[in-house]
Chain A
Amino acid sequence: MDGTRPDERPYGRRAFLALLAGGVTSFLWAPAASRTLSPLTSAFSQLVGDVLPVGGWRIYTISGSMPVFDPATWRLEITGLVRRPVSLGYHDLLALPRAHQVSTFHCVTGWTVNDVRWAGVRFEHLLRLVDPLPEAKAIRFVSAEHPYDDSLTIPQALLPDVMLALELDGAPLSRPHGAPARVVIPEMYGYKGVKWLERMELVATQPTGYWEGLGYDQNAWVGRSNGRG
Protein backbone atom coordinates (compact mmCIF):
# COMPACT_ATOMS: atom_id res chain seq x y z
CA MET A 1 0.00 0.00 0.00
CA ASP A 2 2.79 2.43 0.86
CA GLY A 3 5.46 1.65 -1.70
CA THR A 4 5.18 3.22 -5.12
CA ARG A 5 4.93 0.64 -7.87
CA PRO A 6 7.59 0.95 -10.57
CA ASP A 7 5.12 2.06 -13.23
CA GLU A 8 3.64 4.88 -11.10
CA ARG A 9 4.72 8.47 -11.78
CA PRO A 10 3.97 11.57 -9.68
CA TYR A 11 2.42 13.40 -12.62
CA GLY A 12 -0.33 14.83 -10.42
CA ARG A 13 1.85 17.24 -8.45
CA ARG A 14 3.80 18.16 -11.58
CA ALA A 15 0.61 19.04 -13.42
CA PHE A 16 -0.65 20.98 -10.39
CA LEU A 17 2.58 23.00 -10.11
CA ALA A 18 2.72 23.56 -13.86
CA LEU A 19 -0.83 24.95 -13.83
CA LEU A 20 0.02 27.23 -10.91
CA ALA A 21 3.18 28.43 -12.66
CA GLY A 22 1.21 29.03 -15.86
CA GLY A 23 -1.44 30.95 -13.96
CA VAL A 24 0.95 33.13 -11.99
CA THR A 25 3.21 33.92 -14.96
CA SER A 26 0.12 34.82 -16.98
CA PHE A 27 0.36 38.23 -15.30
CA LEU A 28 3.30 38.65 -17.72
CA TRP A 29 1.95 36.98 -20.85
CA ALA A 30 -1.81 37.59 -20.57
CA PRO A 31 -1.73 41.00 -22.34
CA ALA A 32 0.19 39.52 -25.31
CA ALA A 33 -2.10 36.48 -25.44
CA SER A 34 -5.16 38.68 -25.25
CA ARG A 35 -3.86 40.88 -28.09
CA THR A 36 -3.14 37.80 -30.22
CA LEU A 37 -6.60 36.43 -29.56
CA SER A 38 -8.41 39.75 -29.87
CA PRO A 39 -9.41 39.40 -33.57
CA LEU A 40 -11.04 36.13 -32.55
CA THR A 41 -12.69 37.40 -29.39
CA SER A 42 -13.91 40.63 -30.96
CA ALA A 43 -15.41 38.69 -33.88
CA PHE A 44 -17.06 36.48 -31.28
CA SER A 45 -18.35 39.47 -29.33
CA GLN A 46 -19.90 40.86 -32.52
CA LEU A 47 -21.84 37.61 -32.73
CA VAL A 48 -23.01 37.42 -29.15
CA GLY A 49 -23.52 41.15 -28.70
CA ASP A 50 -24.47 42.16 -25.21
CA VAL A 51 -24.79 38.61 -23.97
CA LEU A 52 -21.11 37.87 -23.41
CA PRO A 53 -18.59 40.61 -22.71
CA VAL A 54 -15.75 38.85 -24.55
CA GLY A 55 -13.55 41.68 -25.78
CA GLY A 56 -16.47 43.97 -25.07
CA TRP A 57 -18.34 45.90 -22.46
CA ARG A 58 -18.80 45.15 -18.81
CA ILE A 59 -21.39 47.11 -16.93
CA TYR A 60 -20.44 48.54 -13.56
CA THR A 61 -22.94 50.19 -11.28
CA ILE A 62 -22.69 51.37 -7.70
CA SER A 63 -26.31 51.16 -6.61
CA GLY A 64 -29.22 48.75 -6.43
CA SER A 65 -30.61 49.27 -9.91
CA MET A 66 -29.96 51.27 -13.06
CA PRO A 67 -31.86 54.54 -13.54
CA VAL A 68 -34.83 54.29 -15.89
CA PHE A 69 -35.06 56.78 -18.75
CA ASP A 70 -38.44 58.27 -19.68
CA PRO A 71 -38.11 60.62 -22.70
CA ALA A 72 -41.26 62.50 -21.66
CA THR A 73 -40.04 63.53 -18.21
CA TRP A 74 -36.24 63.38 -18.46
CA ARG A 75 -34.38 66.66 -17.93
CA LEU A 76 -30.73 67.69 -18.00
CA GLU A 77 -30.05 70.67 -15.73
CA ILE A 78 -27.04 72.87 -16.44
CA THR A 79 -26.50 75.16 -13.48
CA GLY A 80 -23.89 76.68 -11.16
CA LEU A 81 -21.60 79.52 -12.19
CA VAL A 82 -23.52 80.43 -15.34
CA ARG A 83 -25.44 83.48 -16.58
CA ARG A 84 -28.40 81.45 -17.99
CA PRO A 85 -29.10 78.17 -16.21
CA VAL A 86 -31.06 75.79 -18.46
CA SER A 87 -33.11 72.66 -18.15
CA LEU A 88 -33.03 70.62 -21.35
CA GLY A 89 -35.46 67.92 -22.40
CA TYR A 90 -34.35 64.91 -24.45
CA HIS A 91 -35.63 66.51 -27.68
CA ASP A 92 -33.75 69.75 -26.93
CA LEU A 93 -30.56 67.67 -26.79
CA LEU A 94 -31.39 65.88 -30.04
CA ALA A 95 -31.85 69.27 -31.73
CA LEU A 96 -28.28 70.39 -30.94
CA PRO A 97 -25.49 69.94 -33.55
CA ARG A 98 -24.51 66.27 -33.67
CA ALA A 99 -20.89 65.07 -33.63
CA HIS A 100 -19.67 61.57 -34.50
CA GLN A 101 -16.46 59.80 -33.52
CA VAL A 102 -14.82 56.39 -33.31
CA SER A 103 -12.64 55.96 -30.23
CA THR A 104 -11.24 53.39 -27.84
CA PHE A 105 -12.78 52.90 -24.41
CA HIS A 106 -10.40 52.01 -21.55
CA CYS A 107 -11.64 50.80 -18.20
CA VAL A 108 -9.42 51.27 -15.18
CA THR A 109 -9.92 47.60 -14.24
CA GLY A 110 -8.04 46.51 -17.35
CA TRP A 111 -10.51 45.87 -20.14
CA THR A 112 -10.68 47.86 -23.36
CA VAL A 113 -13.23 48.15 -26.17
CA ASN A 114 -11.80 49.20 -29.53
CA ASP A 115 -13.56 51.17 -32.27
CA VAL A 116 -16.55 52.36 -30.32
CA ARG A 117 -18.81 54.51 -32.51
CA TRP A 118 -20.21 57.40 -30.48
CA ALA A 119 -22.57 60.18 -31.54
CA GLY A 120 -23.56 63.10 -29.37
CA VAL A 121 -23.12 66.76 -28.50
CA ARG A 122 -19.82 68.59 -27.99
CA PHE A 123 -19.61 70.48 -24.72
CA GLU A 124 -18.91 73.79 -26.45
CA HIS A 125 -22.52 73.78 -27.69
CA LEU A 126 -23.87 73.03 -24.23
CA LEU A 127 -21.70 75.69 -22.58
CA ARG A 128 -22.76 78.26 -25.17
CA LEU A 129 -26.36 77.77 -24.03
CA VAL A 130 -25.60 78.70 -20.42
CA ASP A 131 -22.78 81.24 -20.86
CA PRO A 132 -20.39 80.33 -17.99
CA LEU A 133 -19.14 83.06 -15.65
CA PRO A 134 -15.39 83.80 -15.80
CA GLU A 135 -14.79 82.12 -12.42
CA ALA A 136 -16.21 78.78 -13.66
CA LYS A 137 -13.22 76.43 -14.11
CA ALA A 138 -14.71 72.94 -14.06
CA ILE A 139 -17.90 70.96 -14.67
CA ARG A 140 -19.32 68.58 -12.10
CA PHE A 141 -21.34 65.78 -13.72
CA VAL A 142 -24.06 64.30 -11.54
CA SER A 143 -25.54 60.91 -12.38
CA ALA A 144 -29.12 59.82 -11.78
CA GLU A 145 -27.41 56.82 -10.19
CA HIS A 146 -26.81 58.42 -6.81
CA PRO A 147 -24.30 59.17 -5.37
CA TYR A 148 -22.19 58.85 -8.55
CA ASP A 149 -20.58 62.03 -9.77
CA ASP A 150 -17.32 63.12 -11.37
CA SER A 151 -15.86 66.19 -12.99
CA LEU A 152 -13.69 67.56 -15.78
CA THR A 153 -11.94 70.91 -16.06
CA ILE A 154 -13.45 73.09 -18.78
CA PRO A 155 -10.33 72.70 -21.02
CA GLN A 156 -10.64 68.89 -20.62
CA ALA A 157 -14.34 69.00 -21.52
CA LEU A 158 -13.47 70.99 -24.65
CA LEU A 159 -10.87 68.51 -25.97
CA PRO A 160 -11.75 67.60 -29.57
CA ASP A 161 -12.93 64.03 -28.85
CA VAL A 162 -14.85 64.67 -25.67
CA MET A 163 -18.64 64.63 -25.89
CA LEU A 164 -21.93 64.07 -24.22
CA ALA A 165 -22.84 60.85 -26.03
CA LEU A 166 -26.42 60.03 -26.99
CA GLU A 167 -25.72 57.11 -29.32
CA LEU A 168 -23.51 54.05 -29.19
CA ASP A 169 -22.77 51.99 -32.30
CA GLY A 170 -25.57 53.61 -34.25
CA ALA A 171 -28.36 53.25 -31.71
CA PRO A 172 -29.58 55.44 -28.84
CA LEU A 173 -27.70 54.66 -25.62
CA SER A 174 -29.17 51.59 -23.94
CA ARG A 175 -29.99 51.55 -20.24
CA PRO A 176 -26.79 49.68 -19.23
CA HIS A 177 -24.73 52.24 -21.16
CA GLY A 178 -26.27 55.22 -19.38
CA ALA A 179 -29.43 56.14 -21.30
CA PRO A 180 -30.06 58.72 -22.52
CA ALA A 181 -26.76 60.61 -22.10
CA ARG A 182 -23.28 59.91 -20.80
CA VAL A 183 -19.93 61.68 -20.78
CA VAL A 184 -17.23 60.28 -23.11
CA ILE A 185 -13.57 61.20 -22.72
CA PRO A 186 -11.46 58.55 -24.49
CA GLU A 187 -8.09 59.73 -23.12
CA MET A 188 -9.26 59.00 -19.58
CA TYR A 189 -10.46 55.83 -17.87
CA GLY A 190 -14.16 55.13 -18.04
CA TYR A 191 -14.99 56.15 -14.46
CA LYS A 192 -14.64 59.81 -15.58
CA GLY A 193 -17.46 59.25 -18.10
CA VAL A 194 -20.54 59.73 -15.94
CA LYS A 195 -23.53 57.71 -17.15
CA TRP A 196 -27.25 58.50 -16.72
CA LEU A 197 -26.31 62.18 -16.57
CA GLU A 198 -28.97 64.38 -14.94
CA ARG A 199 -27.09 67.55 -13.99
CA MET A 200 -24.03 69.57 -15.01
CA GLU A 201 -22.85 72.09 -12.48
CA LEU A 202 -20.24 74.71 -13.34
CA VAL A 203 -17.89 75.19 -10.40
CA ALA A 204 -14.75 77.17 -9.51
CA THR A 205 -12.71 74.22 -8.25
CA GLN A 206 -12.93 70.56 -9.22
CA PRO A 207 -14.76 68.56 -6.52
CA THR A 208 -13.75 65.04 -5.46
CA GLY A 209 -15.75 62.57 -7.53
CA TYR A 210 -17.19 59.22 -6.40
CA TRP A 211 -14.17 57.08 -7.36
CA GLU A 212 -11.65 59.78 -6.51
CA GLY A 213 -13.00 59.59 -2.96
CA LEU A 214 -11.97 55.94 -3.04
CA GLY A 215 -8.38 56.66 -4.06
CA TYR A 216 -8.55 56.95 -7.85
CA ASP A 217 -6.83 59.82 -9.64
CA GLN A 218 -8.70 63.00 -10.48
CA ASN A 219 -6.91 63.18 -13.83
CA ALA A 220 -7.42 59.63 -15.03
CA TRP A 221 -5.26 59.81 -18.15
CA VAL A 222 -5.00 56.35 -19.71
CA GLY A 223 -1.54 54.93 -18.93
CA ARG A 224 -0.53 58.00 -16.90
CA SER A 225 -2.58 57.73 -13.73
CA ASN A 226 -2.89 55.24 -10.90
CA GLY A 227 -4.98 53.06 -13.18
CA ARG A 228 -1.81 52.11 -15.15
CA GLY A 229 -2.28 49.31 -17.72
Chain B
Amino acid sequence: MADRIRLPRFTRTERAVHWVHATAFLILLASGLCLYLPSLAEVVGRRPLLKDVHVYTAVAWVIALALVVALGDRRSLRATVREIDLFDADDRKWLRGRRPAPQGRLNAGQKVNAIVTAAFAVLFSVTGFLLWYGERNTRFRFAQTILIHDWLMYVSFFLFLGHLYLAVIHPKTRHALNGMTRGWVDREWAQQHHAKWVASLETTASEPPLASPAARRAAHDL
Protein backbone atom coordinates (compact mmCIF):
# COMPACT_ATOMS: atom_id res chain seq x y z
CA MET B 1 0.00 0.00 0.00
CA ALA B 2 1.28 3.38 -0.99
CA ASP B 3 0.88 5.15 2.36
CA ARG B 4 2.80 2.50 4.28
CA ILE B 5 6.32 3.31 5.33
CA ARG B 6 8.82 0.47 5.13
CA LEU B 7 11.68 0.26 7.59
CA PRO B 8 14.75 -1.80 6.64
CA ARG B 9 15.21 -4.28 9.48
CA PHE B 10 17.73 -6.96 8.43
CA THR B 11 20.68 -6.53 6.10
CA ARG B 12 21.43 -9.01 3.36
CA THR B 13 24.30 -10.43 5.40
CA GLU B 14 22.10 -10.93 8.45
CA ARG B 15 19.50 -12.65 6.33
CA ALA B 16 22.15 -14.85 4.72
CA VAL B 17 23.36 -16.01 8.15
CA HIS B 18 19.77 -16.73 9.16
CA TRP B 19 18.87 -18.74 6.06
CA VAL B 20 22.13 -20.69 5.91
CA HIS B 21 21.50 -21.66 9.50
CA ALA B 22 17.81 -22.46 8.93
CA THR B 23 18.42 -24.60 5.84
CA ALA B 24 21.19 -26.58 7.48
CA PHE B 25 19.13 -27.03 10.63
CA LEU B 26 16.18 -28.49 8.73
CA ILE B 27 18.30 -30.93 6.70
CA LEU B 28 20.28 -31.96 9.79
CA LEU B 29 17.08 -32.40 11.80
CA ALA B 30 15.37 -34.50 9.11
CA SER B 31 18.37 -36.72 8.41
CA GLY B 32 19.21 -36.93 12.12
CA LEU B 33 15.69 -38.04 13.04
CA CYS B 34 15.81 -40.76 10.38
CA LEU B 35 19.00 -42.02 12.02
CA TYR B 36 17.61 -41.67 15.55
CA LEU B 37 13.96 -42.75 15.61
CA PRO B 38 13.39 -46.52 15.37
CA SER B 39 10.12 -46.12 13.47
CA LEU B 40 11.65 -43.77 10.88
CA ALA B 41 14.80 -45.89 10.66
CA GLU B 42 12.67 -48.87 9.62
CA VAL B 43 10.57 -46.97 7.07
CA VAL B 44 13.36 -44.93 5.51
CA GLY B 45 16.27 -47.35 5.90
CA ARG B 46 19.31 -46.28 3.87
CA ARG B 47 21.29 -45.51 7.01
CA PRO B 48 24.73 -45.18 5.33
CA LEU B 49 23.32 -42.63 2.85
CA LEU B 50 21.55 -40.65 5.60
CA LYS B 51 24.74 -40.64 7.66
CA ASP B 52 26.58 -39.11 4.70
CA VAL B 53 23.83 -36.52 4.16
CA HIS B 54 23.98 -35.60 7.86
CA VAL B 55 27.78 -35.31 8.03
CA TYR B 56 28.25 -33.45 4.72
CA THR B 57 25.41 -31.03 5.51
CA ALA B 58 27.17 -30.19 8.77
CA VAL B 59 30.42 -29.54 6.92
CA ALA B 60 28.67 -27.44 4.26
CA TRP B 61 26.89 -25.45 7.01
CA VAL B 62 30.16 -24.48 8.70
CA ILE B 63 31.77 -23.55 5.37
CA ALA B 64 28.73 -21.51 4.27
CA LEU B 65 28.70 -19.57 7.56
CA ALA B 66 32.42 -18.85 7.19
CA LEU B 67 31.83 -17.65 3.60
CA VAL B 68 29.00 -15.31 4.64
CA VAL B 69 31.25 -13.80 7.29
CA ALA B 70 34.20 -13.55 4.89
CA LEU B 71 32.26 -12.05 1.96
CA GLY B 72 29.40 -10.27 3.72
CA ASP B 73 29.00 -6.98 5.53
CA ARG B 74 31.07 -7.67 8.62
CA ARG B 75 30.33 -4.23 10.06
CA SER B 76 26.63 -4.99 10.16
CA LEU B 77 27.35 -8.39 11.74
CA ARG B 78 29.55 -6.82 14.41
CA ALA B 79 26.81 -4.30 15.16
CA THR B 80 24.28 -7.13 15.41
CA VAL B 81 26.48 -9.12 17.78
CA ARG B 82 26.86 -6.05 19.98
CA GLU B 83 23.13 -5.45 19.88
CA ILE B 84 22.46 -9.05 20.97
CA ASP B 85 25.05 -8.79 23.72
CA LEU B 86 23.57 -5.73 25.42
CA PHE B 87 20.43 -5.98 27.53
CA ASP B 88 19.11 -2.63 28.77
CA ALA B 89 16.68 -1.96 31.63
CA ASP B 90 13.66 -2.42 29.34
CA ASP B 91 15.01 -5.74 28.03
CA ARG B 92 15.36 -7.02 31.56
CA LYS B 93 11.85 -5.82 32.32
CA TRP B 94 10.60 -7.57 29.18
CA LEU B 95 12.22 -10.86 30.23
CA ARG B 96 10.51 -10.62 33.61
CA GLY B 97 7.20 -10.29 31.79
CA ARG B 98 6.57 -6.67 32.84
CA ARG B 99 4.92 -4.44 30.27
CA PRO B 100 5.21 -1.89 28.86
CA ALA B 101 8.85 -2.46 28.04
CA PRO B 102 9.57 -0.77 24.71
CA GLN B 103 12.01 -2.83 22.67
CA GLY B 104 14.82 -2.11 20.24
CA ARG B 105 15.25 -3.67 16.80
CA LEU B 106 15.53 -7.08 18.49
CA ASN B 107 13.40 -7.76 21.52
CA ALA B 108 14.92 -9.49 24.54
CA GLY B 109 13.41 -12.84 23.58
CA GLN B 110 14.94 -12.65 20.12
CA LYS B 111 18.30 -11.88 21.72
CA VAL B 112 18.01 -14.90 24.00
CA ASN B 113 17.04 -17.08 21.01
CA ALA B 114 20.08 -15.88 19.06
CA ILE B 115 22.41 -16.54 22.01
CA VAL B 116 21.08 -20.06 22.60
CA THR B 117 21.24 -20.81 18.88
CA ALA B 118 24.87 -19.67 18.67
CA ALA B 119 25.95 -21.64 21.73
CA PHE B 120 24.10 -24.74 20.54
CA ALA B 121 25.71 -24.44 17.11
CA VAL B 122 29.12 -24.72 18.79
CA LEU B 123 28.04 -27.60 21.05
CA PHE B 124 26.35 -29.48 18.17
CA SER B 125 29.55 -29.12 16.13
CA VAL B 126 31.82 -30.35 18.93
CA THR B 127 29.67 -33.37 19.85
CA GLY B 128 28.96 -34.12 16.19
CA PHE B 129 32.67 -34.09 15.38
CA LEU B 130 33.36 -36.43 18.33
CA LEU B 131 30.63 -38.83 17.16
CA TRP B 132 32.09 -38.89 13.66
CA TYR B 133 35.74 -39.08 14.72
CA GLY B 134 35.09 -41.47 17.62
CA GLU B 135 33.90 -44.06 15.12
CA ARG B 136 37.37 -43.85 13.55
CA ASN B 137 39.54 -43.41 16.63
CA THR B 138 38.22 -45.10 19.75
CA ARG B 139 40.15 -42.74 22.05
CA PHE B 140 37.67 -40.01 21.06
CA ARG B 141 34.61 -42.08 21.80
CA PHE B 142 32.85 -41.05 25.01
CA ALA B 143 29.68 -42.62 26.29
CA GLN B 144 28.14 -39.18 26.93
CA THR B 145 28.63 -37.66 23.47
CA ILE B 146 25.52 -39.12 21.92
CA LEU B 147 23.45 -38.25 24.98
CA ILE B 148 24.51 -34.59 24.81
CA HIS B 149 23.92 -34.43 21.03
CA ASP B 150 20.40 -35.81 21.67
CA TRP B 151 19.60 -33.34 24.44
CA LEU B 152 20.72 -30.44 22.27
CA MET B 153 18.39 -31.75 19.57
CA TYR B 154 15.40 -31.95 21.92
CA VAL B 155 15.89 -28.39 23.21
CA SER B 156 16.54 -27.02 19.70
CA PHE B 157 13.52 -28.80 18.32
CA PHE B 158 11.17 -27.11 20.79
CA LEU B 159 12.86 -23.73 20.35
CA PHE B 160 12.42 -24.20 16.60
CA LEU B 161 8.70 -24.98 17.00
CA GLY B 162 8.26 -21.82 19.09
CA HIS B 163 10.23 -19.77 16.57
CA LEU B 164 8.15 -21.15 13.70
CA TYR B 165 4.90 -20.40 15.52
CA LEU B 166 5.88 -16.77 16.17
CA ALA B 167 7.25 -16.24 12.67
CA VAL B 168 4.53 -17.93 10.63
CA ILE B 169 1.35 -18.41 12.67
CA HIS B 170 0.90 -15.95 15.54
CA PRO B 171 -1.05 -13.04 13.97
CA LYS B 172 0.62 -10.32 16.02
CA THR B 173 4.20 -11.35 15.31
CA ARG B 174 4.16 -13.08 11.92
CA HIS B 175 4.74 -9.85 10.00
CA ALA B 176 8.32 -10.15 11.33
CA LEU B 177 8.93 -12.88 8.73
CA ASN B 178 8.92 -10.14 6.10
CA GLY B 179 11.98 -8.63 7.76
CA MET B 180 13.82 -11.90 7.37
CA THR B 181 12.67 -12.59 3.79
CA ARG B 182 12.55 -9.19 2.09
CA GLY B 183 14.45 -7.23 4.70
CA TRP B 184 11.86 -4.61 5.63
CA VAL B 185 8.89 -4.27 7.97
CA ASP B 186 5.98 -1.83 8.14
CA ARG B 187 6.63 1.20 10.31
CA GLU B 188 3.24 0.81 11.95
CA TRP B 189 3.98 -2.76 13.01
CA ALA B 190 7.49 -1.83 14.14
CA GLN B 191 6.08 1.02 16.24
CA GLN B 192 4.00 -1.50 18.20
CA HIS B 193 6.67 -4.15 18.66
CA HIS B 194 9.99 -2.31 18.48
CA ALA B 195 9.17 1.24 19.53
CA LYS B 196 12.68 2.12 20.68
CA TRP B 197 14.13 1.03 17.36
CA VAL B 198 11.69 3.21 15.42
CA ALA B 199 12.44 6.13 17.74
CA SER B 200 16.21 5.67 17.30
CA LEU B 201 15.84 5.65 13.51
CA GLU B 202 13.77 8.83 13.64
CA THR B 203 15.83 10.82 16.11
CA THR B 204 19.07 10.45 14.15
CA ALA B 205 17.31 12.50 11.50
CA SER B 206 14.18 14.58 11.59
CA GLU B 207 13.59 13.34 8.05
CA PRO B 208 11.56 10.20 7.30
CA PRO B 209 13.19 7.07 8.76
CA LEU B 210 15.22 6.12 5.72
CA ALA B 211 17.35 9.22 6.21
CA SER B 212 19.07 7.94 9.36
CA PRO B 213 22.61 6.59 8.88
CA ALA B 214 21.75 3.16 10.22
CA ALA B 215 18.71 2.96 8.01
CA ARG B 216 20.59 4.26 4.96
CA ARG B 217 23.24 1.61 5.47
CA ALA B 218 20.61 -1.05 5.82
CA ALA B 219 18.58 0.22 2.86
CA HIS B 220 21.67 0.25 0.71
CA ASP B 221 22.12 -3.38 1.58
CA LEU B 222 18.56 -4.47 0.82
A contact set with B: CB distance below 8 Å: 1, 4-5, 7-13, 15-16, 19-20, 23-24, 26-27, 30-31, 34, 50-53, 56-66, 108-111, 175-176, 214-216, 226-229
Of B46, B119, B123, B126, the residue contacting A64 (CB under 8 A) is B46
Assuming A7-B89, A12-B111, A24-B126, is B48 touching A111 (CB within 8 A)?
no
Interchain residue pairs A-B with the least CB separation, the first 8: A229-B143, A12-B85, A110-B143, A19-B119, A65-B45, A23-B123, A7-B89, A30-B144
User: Which chain B residue has the least Cβ–Cβ distance from A226?
Assistant: B138
Instruction: Report whether over half of chain B's contact residues are helix, strand or loop; otherwise say mixed.
Output: helix
Other than the known A16-B119, A30-B147, A111-B147, what 17 A-B pairs have Cβ atoms closer than 8 Å? A4-B86, A5-B88, A11-B87, A12-B85, A12-B115, A19-B116, A23-B119, A27-B148, A30-B151, A64-B47, A110-B142, A110-B147, A176-B42, A216-B138, A226-B141, A228-B141, A229-B143
Distance in Å from the Cβ of B1 to the closest Cβ of chain A? 32
Distance in Å from the Cβ of B17 to the closest Cβ of chain A? 16
Distance in Å from the Cβ of B144 to the closest Cβ of chain A? 4
Total CB contacts across the A-B interface at under 8 A: 129
Question: Could you tell me the distance between the alpha carbons of A110 and B146 in the complex, rounded to whole angstroms?
Answer: 7
- By a CB distance below 8 angstroms, the chain A residues around B47 are 60-64
Question: Could you tell me the distance between the alpha carbons of A1 and B199 in the complex, rounded to whole angstroms?
Answer: 14
0 or 1 for each of B115-147: is its CB under 8 Å from A? (1 = yes): 110111011001000010001111001111111
Distance in Å from the Cβ of A158 to the closest Cβ of chain B? 28
Question: Could you tell me the distance between the alpha carbons of A64 and B92 in the complex, rounded to whole angstroms?
Answer: 52
- By a CB distance below 8 angstroms, the chain B residues around A34 are 147
- Asked if B39 and A20 make an inter-chain contact with CB atoms under 8 angstroms apart, the answer reads no
Does B22 lie at the interface of the complex (its beta carbon under 8 Å from any beta carbon of A)? no
User: Which chain B residue has the least Cβ–Cβ distance from A214?
Assistant: B135
Does B112 lie at the interface of the complex (its beta carbon under 8 Å from any beta carbon of A)? yes
Distance in Å from the Cβ of A226 to the closest Cβ of chain B? 4
- Asked if B144 and A31 make an inter-chain contact with CB atoms under 8 angstroms apart, the answer reads yes
Does B41 lie at the interface of the complex (its beta carbon under 8 Å from any beta carbon of A)? yes
Of A16, A19, A58, A226, the residue contacting B36 (CB under 8 A) is A58
0 or 1 for each of B70-105: is its CB under 8 Å from A? (1 = yes): 000000000000001111110010000000000000
Question: Could you tell me the distance between the alpha carbons of A58 and B89 in the complex, rounded to whole angstroms?
Answer: 47
